[in-house]
Amino acid sequence: MAQSLRALKIVDTVATLNARISERFPESGLASVCTELLATAKKTDRRAKSVTRPNYVTWVSFVLLAAFAAYLFGQVVQDSLPWSQMQIDGDALDLTQAIEAFVNLMIILVGVLYFLSRVEGLRKRKKALDHLHELRSFAHVVDMHQLTKDPTAILNENKRTASSPVRNMTEFELGRYLDYCTEMLALTSKLAALYGERSQDTEVINTVNDIETLTTGLGTKIWQKIMVITSDEIEQELGGNP
């Protein structure tokens, strides 16, 4: 278990983050987004498991087809080889025809099974990609919420224009807001990773990697803003204590 992600632990972490954001910024859009992320996180474990869960309808269909093929083979053998009136000259040819018919049935059966497995695989892939697309959307929404949170604007309040967005956060509040954004991005990436752990589909794994790259890149941009605030705080402390 130490080498795999635990969905319940991720959900608990998202729930704690949601509480922290709601307590500090109760009326913010980020709190609403985190609440939606929590609802999605609670469904992610079940969704990820459904991607790898075997479809019993497919296997039941295979068993029925195999039973039907065995029945047809029995009928062919019975019709081709009248055991009560066996003739040495015709038995070899009849047996060959029966085996050929059975082989043809098996080829058709394998083809049907392959078709069913492909359809099931494509269905699972589509479900996983739809869910991953939802997580990717969360990452972009988080990025939109931090887009106007510019620390340099707070440090230079006298340079506001008539069209400047409202900025009523202190440096500390802005730092916490941006920090919450990075945590949401990281948790979004971990939710996506649950699909990568449970799926061996190349396209699903590539999508998971793309989401990780996306969230890492967005998180790096946010951390650059946090470093601006941190640097200003350090300068103020040094300025006050020569």
Report the pLDDT averaged over residues 88-99.
Answer: 58
Q: Each residue of 101-124: pLDDT tens digit? A: 667 767 777 777 777 777 777 888
Q: Where are the domains of the chain?
A: 7-55+126-237
pLDDT exceeds cutoff 60 at 242: no
Non-local (6+) Cβ contacts of 121 within 8 A are: 201
Q: Each residue of 124-163: pLDDT tens digit? A: 888 889 999 999 999 999 999 998 888 776 666 656 666 7
Residue 9 or 233, more confident: 9
Q: Each residue of 161-191: pLDDT tens digit? A: 667 667 778 888 899 999 999 999 999 999 9
- Give the domain 7-55+126-237 fold: Glutathione S-transferase Yfyf (Class Pi); Chain A, domain 2 (1.20.1050)
pLDDT value, residue 49: 79
Residue 137 token pair: 């959307």
Q: Each residue of 204-235: pLDDT tens digit? A: 999 999 999 999 999 999 999 988 888 755 55
172, HSE (Cβ side, Cα atoms, 13 Å) = 1
Report the pLDDT averaged over residues 63-73.
Answer: 69
Report the pLDDT averaged over residues 72-76.
Answer: 63
pLDDT exceeds cutoff 80 at 9: yes
Residue type, 158: N
**Is the entire prediction scored with pTM above 0.95?**
no
